[in-house]
Chains A and B, each alone.
Chain A
Amino acid sequence: MSLGKSLPHDAAPLHVTGQARYVDDIPLPATALHLAFGLSTIAHGEVTALDLSAVRAAPGVVAVYGPEDFDPVPDCSPSAHDEPMISTGEVLYLGMPLFLVAADSHLAARKAARLAKVSYTEKPALLTVDDALAANSRFEDGPVIWAKGDAARAIATAPHVVEGQFELGGQEHFYLEGQVAACLPLEGGDLLVHASTQHPTEIQHKVAHALHLPMSAVRVEVRRMGGGFGGKESQGNALAIACAVVAARTGRPAKMRYDRDDDMMITGKRHDLRLLYRAGFDDRGQLTGVAFTHLFRCGWAQDLSLPVADRAMLHADNCYHLPHIRIESHRLKTHTQSATAFRGFGGPQGMVGIERVMDHVAHALGRDPLEVRRANFYAPAEPVASAGGASPPGPPEDISEQAIGAGPVPPSPDETVDLTSRGAVEGQPERGVAPASPGAQTTPFFMPVEDFIGHELVARLVETSDYAARRAAIADWNAASPILKRGIALTPVKFGISFTLTHLNQAGALVHVYQDGSIHLNHGGTEMGQGLFQKVAQVAAGVFGVDPYAIKITATDTAKVPNTSATAASSGSDLNGMAARAACLTLRDRMAAFIAGKHQVKADAVRFEGGRVRVAGESYGFDQVAAWAYLARVSLSSTGFYATPKLQWDRKAGKGRPFLYFAYGAAVTEVVIDTLTGENRILRADLLHDTGNSLNPALDIGQIEGAYVQGAGWLTTEELVWDGKGRLTTHAPSTYKLPACSDRPDVFNVALWGRPNREDSVGRSKAVGEPPFMLGISAFYALSDAVAACGPGYPALDAPATPERVLAAVQRVQAHV
């Protein structure tokens, strides 16, 4: 059995020898053109004159395209058709592409792009939350409000109340491989696109739409990305479209790669927001009512902001049962980069909010925040029979039949809408029946929480991290240390798994067995370092009883598996693993039926293991059976399909079951701060994370560690700064502080919880891409704890808690009377 083994990444030998190929490494014909955008230098206004003559005359330039060269300018938006590839005259953020240059080298294109003479009439730019609120500049007509119970009354009648507000910064993806795409013109006007994208189908759709081609004329291939983190869900559209347009017009291959500074100036980042809260609670710290207001700065275009902000609301409860809650979410439109998907997709922002409430309540009561957190936990899961570790999942039912006609009437097809984008369509209220467990506590969106393991998981972590003794020791240490102060915090995570746009929860796979017994695997998921390909190969190898390295993993290709969802929402192995499994089972069943027939036994008596096929006391090589099956004219190719069951969700009403299950985790972080400078560092982190039955523990631990460091980076050092004109001043790693090797905690203990998923997921595993990102929240509240040791006031830290902010907070709590 290959499931659950810590096998190295499938491409490991290629990575360590430099042979692993990324888009920019693909050899292109010498005739290839290299593209660059010319960018706006103001945040808001009109272009009154665009003189491109010097650009055209620059050495190496082959073509230059301004808005008048298109009718209409191609749209790059994954949602509201509000992202022209280049400005049509209106400038909506500083860094907006104004024109496109094609030259015979990358450098020539970039140099030429600087030569344009642009005149503008500048208009006042809305840059901040306050600017946008004052101008009522927003997406959607007004705020989205979800409510459960009567929060206002519960707060008004509570024995104690805390309230506050804080700023929560955004985050640059800084995928180490920047955005890049290349397009090769094929015969008959068809196009082949290589893109560094998490969403090949969307690239296919947008390119086809830009060139008025059917999707079948465009093939998109993605072997791997050098990191994605959500930044390659929609932000690569413009590059792929630009390449396709130029390739189609010139008949030459075209490649576009953003230089790092351009990448940071042009593309969207994690959404920043201001978060307001008000909570009522009793003497134990149990919340009676809580109200949140999220003020998201979404930037100039809608992109994926609506589902991102929704997911923040969906995680406003984290691990806590909140019977009376109101969440108001504003999606503000500003003249800045269009904020986009980033690992956690809004979930982390929502979660930091409720953890702030816990921290603040504990401070008000003078209690250990962990006690307050535990007092508010959801009730423990009822043990269920199906969660027994011994029961392997049954074969997936063929749901393709059921799926047809079972759902709501689909929206009328509009060829401009990308149905596979998270942002494109309003969620159709799904009216299937959500099996509610009677008595289970429900989330603020009325989903029963049936699998809550926070109590046991936190208890284990408290023990393994020695939390109580360390907390006491820190208090003593702080009492004797006037300048340096330490802090510790334990924060839990409960993260919902599934796309909230229900129909995206589907996946396909294509598997071939060749006559020599070699196996070709393809599915709709993309590889960006998370080890998806390796995990799915392990699933396939398990079905065929062969070595995982016998499975040929191939690049994601829209010509092999169509209509794929983005590899996002942590869903990659859940969805694609199940689809691949279904395809492999179909093939195995055919081979079993064939070989059983020859031996006149039942097909279920055939065993596939150790690269052999055992039947009626005989043992044959898998390759032998494949060859015989071919000669007997048995089809050795199959697709597989999976659609996540049990989901139903009405986003307008904020009601239903958007998630199949929750993934859990908890982290303890200890920090030290210098109260004279605000400098700080993480001394130790202990993580315990729930991956169900891990498909590959080594890969999962890698994901968890990396996610923690990235999450802690978001809340501590990674600060984005815009100047008063809307110019992003932190547009390179020299000014934007990414976690380096030395920022990894000195003591870093990571463990897997290791109990099976109670839902019938692939191998009873759980998704792991995003949930551990939020373990990094513990670093932020450990800093809050350290600052709180400096005086009587509440630290009220803003994020990221840079040294400047920590210092300001120290001075605040010291000045508090």
Chain B
Amino acid sequence: MQISLDINGSLRDVYLDPRTTLLDALRSHLGLTGTKKGCDHGQCGACTVLLDGRRVNACLTLACMAQGAKVTTIEGLGSSDALSPLQAQFLNHDGFQCGFCTPGQICSATAMLEELAAGWPSHASTDLEGPFPLSHAEIAERMSGNLCRCAAYSNIVDAIQNAAKDGDAK
């Protein structure tokens, strides 16, 4: 079927089998290979992208379901000369080793900070009403859907904390 996707601010038309996942559409049909396939079963988070700002596993989302939404991938968050605050902090804090989980981590963290700002509590929150101090435990809980086999977790948490501070300072 013919579908039209709004990806990183531009409309892309693509002809797909209706059962194609958003992940395969991005990687195999649209040449956007920044989004990674780690497990293809919604278990690792490597494929995390944003749909209207909310994080989803692209491997569990059909491409046709993303019609009408704004899809943001790692390529749309920033570029080498205009890094997003999270991208810059992942770079400063070595928030990765092999880098394979990194696009998913950054997309996930981007939406996670929004969720926090919107007052969504997590399992680790002590007070459901907020505010939610950005503790290690809070970040760890909210990022637990993104596996990093290199276990660069300390640096990932540092990067997120610092990006959040950057955001507050603005």
Q: A residues touching B (Cβ–Cβ < 8 Å)?
A: 8-9, 11-22, 24-25, 27, 105-107, 173-178, 224-229, 259-261, 528-531, 698-699, 702-703, 705-710, 713, 732-734, 738-742, 744, 746, 748, 750
Question: Would you call B25 an interface residue if the criterion is a C-beta within 8 Å of the partner chain's C-beta atoms?
Answer: no
A175 to B90, CA, bound (A): 20
Q: List 6 A-B contacts (CB under 8 A).
A: A17-B34, A24-B27, A176-B36, A177-B100, A224-B98, A738-B149
What secondary structure prevails in chain A residues at the interface with B? loop
A744 to B156, CA, bound (A): 11
Q: Top 4 A-B pairs ranked by shortest CB distance?
A: A18-B34, A529-B98, A226-B100, A529-B97
Question: Would you call B162 an interface residue if the criterion is a C-beta within 8 Å of the partner chain's C-beta atoms?
Answer: no
Contacts of A15 in B (CB 8 A): 90-91, 96, 99, 102
A529 to B102, CA, bound (A): 12
Task: Among A16, A173, A713, point to the contact of B102 (Cβ < 8 A).
Answer: A16
Would you list which residues of chain B between 118 and 170 have a CB under 8 Å from chain A?
A: 136-137, 139-141, 143-144, 146-157
Contacts of B94 in A (CB 8 A): 8-9, 12, 698-699, 702
Question: Would you call B53 an interface residue if the criterion is a C-beta within 8 Å of the partner chain's C-beta atoms?
Answer: no
Task: Among B31, B44, B74, B88, point to the contact of A176 (Cβ < 8 A).
Answer: B44
Please give me the residue from chain B that is nearest to A20 by CB atom.
B99
Assess whether B151 is in contact with A710, with CB atoms less than 8 Å apart: yes
A273 to B165, CA, bound (A): 48
Task: Among B24, B43, B80, point to the contact of A17 (Cβ < 8 A).
Answer: B80
Contacts of B137 in A (CB 8 A): 742, 746
Assess whether A177 is in contact with B155, with CB atoms less than 8 Å apart: no
A96 to B103, CA, bound (A): 33
A733 and B147 in contact (CB under 8 A), knowing A18-B73, A742-B140, A744-B153?
A: yes
A261 to B35, CA, bound (A): 20
Question: Would you call B87 an interface residue if the criterion is a C-beta within 8 Å of the partner chain's C-beta atoms?
Answer: yes
Count chain A CB atoms within 10 A of each CB in B34, B73, B77 and give the residue with the most.
B34
CB contacts between A and B, total, < 8 Å: 182
Question: Contact flags (1/0) for B21-50 with A, using CB distance below 8 Å?
Answer: 000100110011111111111011010000
B79 CB to closest chain A CB, in angstroms? 6
A803 to B113, CA, bound (A): 33
Count chain A CB atoms within 10 A of each CB in B95, B140, B148 and give the residue with the most.
B148
A733 to B44, CA, bound (A): 7
Please give me the residue from chain A that is nearest to B37 by CB atom.
A24
Question: Contact flags (1/0) for B61-93 with A, using CB distance below 8 Å?
Answer: 000000000000111011110010001101110
What secondary structure prevails in chain B residues at the interface with A? loop
Assess whether B148 is in contact with A16, with CB atoms less than 8 Å apart: no
A741 to B73, CA, bound (A): 22
Assess whether A8 is in contact with B143, with CB atoms less than 8 Å apart: no
A17 to B74, CA, bound (A): 6
Assess whether B100 is in contact with A702, with CB atoms less than 8 Å apart: no
Contacts of B91 in A (CB 8 A): 8, 12-13, 15-16
A606 CB to closest chain B CB, in angstroms? 35
Assess whether A176 is in contact with B101, with CB atoms less than 8 Å apart: yes
Beyond A9-B97, A17-B74, A18-B32, 12 additional contacts (C-beta under 8 Å) are: A12-B90, A13-B83, A16-B102, A17-B78, A18-B35, A174-B147, A176-B36, A226-B99, A529-B98, A706-B97, A732-B39, A739-B151
Question: Would you call B7 an interface residue if the criterion is a C-beta within 8 Å of the partner chain's C-beta atoms?
Answer: no
B7 CB to closest chain A CB, in angstroms? 13
A176 to B150, CA, bound (A): 8
A18 to B37, CA, bound (A): 13
Contacts of B34 in A (CB 8 A): 17-19
Assess whether A741 is in contact with B98, with CB atoms less than 8 Å apart: no
Contacts of A707 in B (CB 8 A): 151
Assess whether B75 is in contact with A742, with CB atoms less than 8 Å apart: no
A8 and B92 in contact (CB under 8 A), knowing A18-B103, A176-B149?
A: yes
Assess whether A24 is in contact with B33, with CB atoms less than 8 Å apart: yes
Contacts of A531 in B (CB 8 A): 97
A702 to B154, CA, bound (A): 8
Task: Among A259, A738, A742, point to the contact of B40 (Cβ < 8 A).
Answer: A259
A323 to B164, CA, bound (A): 56
Contacts of B58 in A (CB 8 A): none
Question: Would you call B106 an interface residue if the criterion is a C-beta within 8 Å of the partner chain's C-beta atoms?
Answer: yes
Please give me the residue from chain A that is nearest to B34 by CB atom.
A18
A724 to B35, CA, bound (A): 38
A588 CB to closest chain B CB, in angstroms? 30
Contacts of B153 in A (CB 8 A): 705, 709, 739, 741, 744
Assess whether A744 is in contact with B151, with CB atoms less than 8 Å apart: yes
A698 to B92, CA, bound (A): 11
A116 to B34, CA, bound (A): 35
Task: Among B24, B149, B154, point to the contact of A227 (Cβ < 8 A).
Answer: B149
Contacts of B88 in A (CB 8 A): 16
B92 CB to closest chain A CB, in angstroms? 7
Please give me the residue from chain A that is nearest to B77 by CB atom.
A17
Contacts of A175 in B (CB 8 A): 98, 100, 149
Count chain A CB atoms within 10 A of each CB in B99, B101, B102, B143 and give the residue with the most.
B99
A794 CB to closest chain B CB, in angstroms? 31
Please give me the residue from chain A that is nearest to B84 by CB atom.
A16
A710 CB to closest chain B CB, in angstroms? 6
Contacts of B98 in A (CB 8 A): 175-177, 224-228, 528-529
Contacts of A705 in B (CB 8 A): 151-155
Count chain A CB atoms within 10 A of each CB in B77, B87, B92 and give the residue with the most.
B87
A741 and B140 in contact (CB under 8 A), knowing A15-B99, A705-B154?
A: yes
Assess whether B33 is in contact with A16, with CB atoms less than 8 Å apart: no
Contacts of B24 in A (CB 8 A): 107
Assess whether A742 is in contact with B144, with CB atoms less than 8 Å apart: yes
Contacts of B73 in A (CB 8 A): 18
A665 CB to closest chain B CB, in angstroms? 16
Contacts of A699 in B (CB 8 A): 94
A246 to B101, CA, bound (A): 31
Please give me the residue from chain B that is nearest to A34 by CB atom.
B28
Contacts of A741 in B (CB 8 A): 139-140, 143-144, 146, 148, 153, 156-157
B49 CB to closest chain A CB, in angstroms? 10
B29 CB to closest chain A CB, in angstroms? 11
A8 to B89, CA, bound (A): 11
A710 to B149, CA, bound (A): 8
A12 to B133, CA, bound (A): 29
A739 to B95, CA, bound (A): 16
Please give me the residue from chain B that is nearest to A176 by CB atom.
B100
Please give me the residue from chain B that is nearest to A174 by CB atom.
B149
A399 to B79, CA, bound (A): 46
Please give me the residue from chain A that is nearest to B96 by CB atom.
A15
Contacts of B141 in A (CB 8 A): 742
A771 to B94, CA, bound (A): 21
Contacts of A106 in B (CB 8 A): 28
Assess whether B46 is in contact with A706, with CB atoms less than 8 Å apart: no
Task: Among B46, B90, B150, point to the contact of A16 (Cβ < 8 A).
Answer: B90
Count chain A CB atoms within 10 A of each CB in B24, B38, B94 and give the residue with the most.
B94
Assess whether B140 is in contact with A706, with CB atoms less than 8 Å apart: no
Contacts of B144 in A (CB 8 A): 740-742
Assess whether A734 is in contact with B152, with CB atoms less than 8 Å apart: no
Contacts of A11 in B (CB 8 A): 99
A528 to B96, CA, bound (A): 11
Assess whether A746 is in contact with B31, with CB atoms less than 8 Å apart: no
A426 to B142, CA, bound (A): 50
A709 and B39 in contact (CB under 8 A), knowing A17-B79, A17-B87, A741-B156?
A: no
A739 to B32, CA, bound (A): 29
Assess whether B31 is in contact with A27, with CB atoms less than 8 Å apart: yes
